[in-house]
Amino acid sequence: MNRYELGRLLGQGTFAKVHYARNLKTGSGVALKIIDKEKILKVGMIDQIKREISVMRLVRHPNVVQLHEVMATKTKIYFVIEYAKGGELFNKVAKGRLKEDAARKYFQQLICAVDYCHSQGVYHRDLKPENLLLDESGNLKVSDFGLSALAESKRQDGLLHTTCGTPAYVAPEVINRRGYDGAKADIWSCGVILYVLLAGYLPFHDSNLMEMYRKIGKAEFKFPNWFNPEVRRLISKILDPNPSTRISMAKIMENSWFQRGFDPKHGKTDVERKEPAVFDADVAFGPLENNSRAMKVKQDLTKPTNLNAFDIISFSTGFDLSGLFEENEKKKESRFTSRQPASMIISKLEDIGRSLRLKVKKKDRGLLKMEGSKEGRKGVLGIDAEIFEVTPFFHLVELKKSSGDTLEYQKTMKQDIRPALKDIVWTWLGDLQPQQQQQQEQEPQPSPVQQVFSPHNS
């Protein structure tokens, strides 16, 4: 576009490349993120890119990487981003633990940045040293808002429900998949980061992923002997597995250890509030609006949620995490896999709902809500059915009690819903019926992705 001179490659992912670039008008250096439209269209990531643009233009803070400009052509989207010359904070930690004063300075800047994000209704959800950059003066810059969520992403219960993040840094309530407060989850990640900066290693680490999840769920970790009592108390309050009693951002900032050498004016003076050139995220996709496939992605409310690797691990029978968080509680959910398209699965669930005289409401992203008309022992029975896409021809379906009596839900599942679903079920997670086992023996071997969900692969 004759505005930037492209330089060396800084990094590369599945859908984007990041280059160093020089502004031809000012001579200043920037990072240029180049996103392939066709690739993100194929995997249904348009909403995620739009959200990243919306978030980055909303969050204008000295300790957050700034989005200067967004440009688009027919095939590419260009993010012009502040260049962090010092690289990742992770590179410093990789050489060994930091001195307490240095760790505290980075932690202060991190908390100020994340607290500001929360004040704007933005939750990062993937905080880790690899996503914390340093500028040429050594100041911390929070980056990579690709997994962030806005306040309006919350469901009616006021919680977020997307399982995402990096396992070693993720809060126990996120793994639990019962809904979580985005701010509380970010605070947990900040606590893990502080531990890593001071220790040089992770508080929760195990070669066995299930064992690591168990440790996270119980907040089971040890302090190195060089941690002083003040910082031990602070980290213990942050890494509280109960989000309702976990320390708040305000209390962290009042903490005596945190306050040492802290300038209360830090982060109060925002960077110049110059809006990025594209203030409407939809503009970046303008050239695709006449593309029929793009329109289909945009308008298809029944399109199921795509599963990420974190979800696949969490859903797999061998990685059932409910035991880490719930004791002596009847199971309130059932999951099955199907080789049928999402439209057929939805149609089948609607038929079953009508036959059981349940009110069926179809929501977006492959979510159906079924509700009874009669009051049970604990109110009206409600069942949520959510469809997740692993591949276009392989889906995971989760049926979960949303209200009413658990025993009534289990009876309805056993006597009515499970038998009625037999035509579309490939296998139920957690058990294998003889009929299904015989069917599997006669069918070709499933792909590696399908094998993840097989009860034999625990």
In a domain, 372, yes or no: yes
**234 shares its domain with 115:** yes
Do 125 and 102 belong to one domain? Answer: yes
Given a contact cutoff of 8 angstroms between Cβ atoms, the answer to whether 287 and 77 are in contact is: no
Residue 27's pLDDT is: 92
Domain membership of residue 264 (yes or no) is no
Q: Quick one: 20 and 128 in the same domain?
A: no
In the chain, pLDDT over 90 holds for what percent of residues?
32
Residue 292 has what pLDDT?
36
**What distance in Å separates the CA atoms of residue 270 and residue 256, rounded to the nearest whole number?**
25
Q: Are residues 97 and 27 in the same domain?
A: no
- Whichever domain contains 68, its CATH number is 3.30.200.20
CA 116, 117, 119, 123 torsion-angle sign:
negative
Q: Is the pLDDT of residue 432 over 80?
A: no
- The answer to whether 321 and 175 are in contact (CB under 8 A) is yes
CATH code: domain of residue 311: 3.30.310.80
Name the active-site residue from 115, 126, 181, 186.
Answer: 126
What is the longest distance spanned by two Cα atoms in the chain? 71
The answer to whether residues 80 and 289 touch, using CB atoms and an 8 Å cutoff, is no
**pLDDT tens-digit profile of 59-79?**
889 999 998 988 888 888 898
Please check whether residue 100 lies inside any domain of the structure.
yes
Per-residue pLDDT reduced to its tens digit, 314-370: 455 444 444 444 444 455 678 888 888 888 888 889 899 888 888 888 765 567 888
* Inside any domain, residue 291: no
What is the per-residue pLDDT across 94-124, written as a single tens digit (0 to 9) for each?
Answer: 888 999 999 999 999 999 999 999 998 888 8
Q: Please tell me the predicted confidence (pLDDT) of residue 447.
A: 42
Could you tell me where the DSSP H helices lie in 357-405?
none
Distance CA 127, CA 150 (A): 15
CA-based nearest residue to 404, from 383, 420, 422: 383
**Mean of pLDDT values over 11-38:** 88
Judged against a pLDDT cut of 50, whether residue 287 lies above it is answered with: no
Q: Is the pLDDT of residue 42 over 90?
A: no
Q: Are residues 358 and 246 in the same domain?
A: no
34 & 127 share domain: no
Same domain as 33, residue 102: no
Owning domain of residue 304 = 300-457
Strands 379-391 and 305-306: parallel
Sheet containing strand 29-36, strands side by side:
4-12, 16-23, 29-36, 76-82, 67-72
Residues 249 and 363 reside in one and the same domain: no
| 271-278 average pLDDT score | 49
* Residues 372-422: tens digit of each pLDDT: 877 777 788 899 888 877 666 678 888 888 888 888 888 889 899 999 998
Final residue of a structural domain among 84, 110, 125:
84
Could you read off the pLDDT of 134-177 as tens digits, one per residue? 999 999 999 887 655 555 455 444 544 444 557 889 888 887 76
Distance CA 307, CA 446 (A): 18
**Position 287 in a domain:** no
Shared domain check, 64 and 95: no
Residue 437 lies in a domain: yes
Q: Is 78 in the same domain as 139?
A: no
Judged by DSSP in three states, 333 sits in strand
- Residue 296's pLDDT is what? 39
Distance in angstroms (rounded) separating the CA atoms of residues 359 and 228: 58
Q: What is the CATH number of the domain that holds 198?
A: 1.10.510.10
One domain for residues 246 and 232 = yes
Q: Verify whether residue 423 is a known catalytic residue.
A: no
Domain-embedded: residue 286: no
Domain check: are 221 and 164 in the same one? yes
Q: Is 33 known as a binding-site position?
A: yes
Q: Over 50: is that where the pLDDT of 300 sits?
A: no
Q: What is the 3-state secondary structure (H, E, C) of 230-285?
A: HHHHHHHHHCCCCCCCCCCHHHHHHCHHHHCCCCCCCCCCCCCCCCCCCCCHHHHH
| Residue 280 belongs to some domain of the structure | no
Q: Indicate the number of domains in the chain.
A: 3
Residues 6+ apart with CB under 8 A from 69: 78, 79, 80, 276, 277, 278
